Structure 1
Amino acid sequence: MSDHQVLTVAARPYLSAVVAQATREELPVGRADMIDGGYDDPEAQETEGWIELDEEAVECRYGPKVSDLTVYWDTLSGWHIYAERPGKPNEDINWWMGAGLVPTPEQVTGFIATVLVDYTMSGSQERPFYRRPGQEVPALVQRLRRYGG
């Protein structure tokens, strides 16, 4: 199995734990999944996951100013929010949580709750990097295994 596949398998239960916590807290989360494949450089194969926020909740909070609000996780920088602004294709927003690669599900849901209040006050526009592509894969897999992977 490639590092990318190993990371994806290990990360799925972590993403599920975050979704389960968000559901317990009655946060309006929708679909969630891992992004798989599409990398040309085998040394840089990393893993991403995402959780959509419910469209009705986003529309209720932000109206037409935001058409898509999704929370992403990746194996280099951790969690961030992506906001798509209609009519402004070059002004999509990414705000980074900045709490490490594997913060607890409770920390992530706190970030999501803040995003639902005001995504521009959630984290930082500065992207953190906690590891380099292809580096420290066994250590990250071990941290993710706490969640059942």
Structure 2
Amino acid sequence: MTATELPTGHHERADHRPYVDAVCAALEAQEIGVGTRWTSATRLREATVRLAPDPEETAFGEAEEVLLRWTEEAGWFLVAPTVHEGQCLEFPWYMGFGVLPDPDEVAVWVDTLLIRPDLTPSREDGPYRRHTDYDPEFEQALRSYAQNPAAGDD
């Protein structure tokens, strides 16, 4: 068994919350309302951010809620569940371009998606990694947000 095949419990895992916080700060800088955040680091590191866009200025005004989600395997995706003919429809839009895109790039993607989803097709080219595989470069990239939240990619 190689080091990359060892369960993640055998290696120190970085906290993903500083990265999620950096993305939320970038969203707020784009004047996108950010509501409740949930993060989980049990086995799969993931986060959910409830967005609070102005219903008059979003293509998702009919949605029950607008959720921005992140997993360490799939990266960022947006879900806006809507009810149609008594059935809840939930189609995710995947940002693509990896698991840890720059927070400002995530904010621009979300801003465009909220206004013109037709201009931002879902990129379903993930998953990019398996959470059970140890990846020291990924762990260091996450740690960089805790060490220097403003930079993130140093």
Q: CA deviation at 1:33?
A: 2.6
Give secondary structure in 1 for the equivalent of 2:87.
coil
Equivalence for 2:75 = 78
Structure with higher helix content: 1
Which residue among 13, 34, 50 is the counterpart of 2:18? 13
The code of the aligned residue for 1:47 comes to R
CA distance in 2, matches of 1:117, 1:146: 31
Equivalence for 1:34 = 39
Q: CA deviation at 1:11?
A: 0.6
Equivalence for 1:105 = 103
C-alpha distance 130-97 of structure 1, shift in aligned 2 (>3 A): same
Give secondary structure in 1 for the equivalent of 2:39.
strand
What TM-score does the superposition give when structure 2 sets the normalisation length?
Answer: 0.75
The question of whether the paired residues in 2 share the 8 Å contact of 1:95 and 1:120 is answered with: no
- Aligned residues, how many? 137
Equivalence for 1:51 = 49
C-alpha distance 113-144 of structure 1, shift in aligned 2 (>3 A): same
The code of the aligned residue for 1:31 comes to T
What TM-score does the superposition give when structure 1 sets the normalisation length?
Answer: 0.78
Identity %: 27
The question of whether the paired residues in 1 share the 8 Å contact of 2:30 and 2:108 is answered with: no
- Please list the CA deviations of residues 56-89 of structure 1 after superposition, one character each: whole Å capped at 9, or x if unmatched: 624653333x112111110001000112012322
Runs of 4+ in 1 over 4 A off after TM superposition: 4-7
Answer with 1 or 2: which has the greater Rg: 2
- Which ranges in structure 1 are unaligned for 5 or more consecutive residues? 38-44
Give secondary structure in 2 for the equivalent of 1:102.
coil
CA distance in 2, matches of 1:69, 1:127: 22
Q: What RMSD over aligned residues (CA atoms) do the two structures have, in Å? A: 2.5
- Please list the CA deviations of residues 92-147 of structure 1 after superposition, one character each: whole Å capped at 9, or x if unmatched: 11110002111111011011101211345434162511112311343321111111
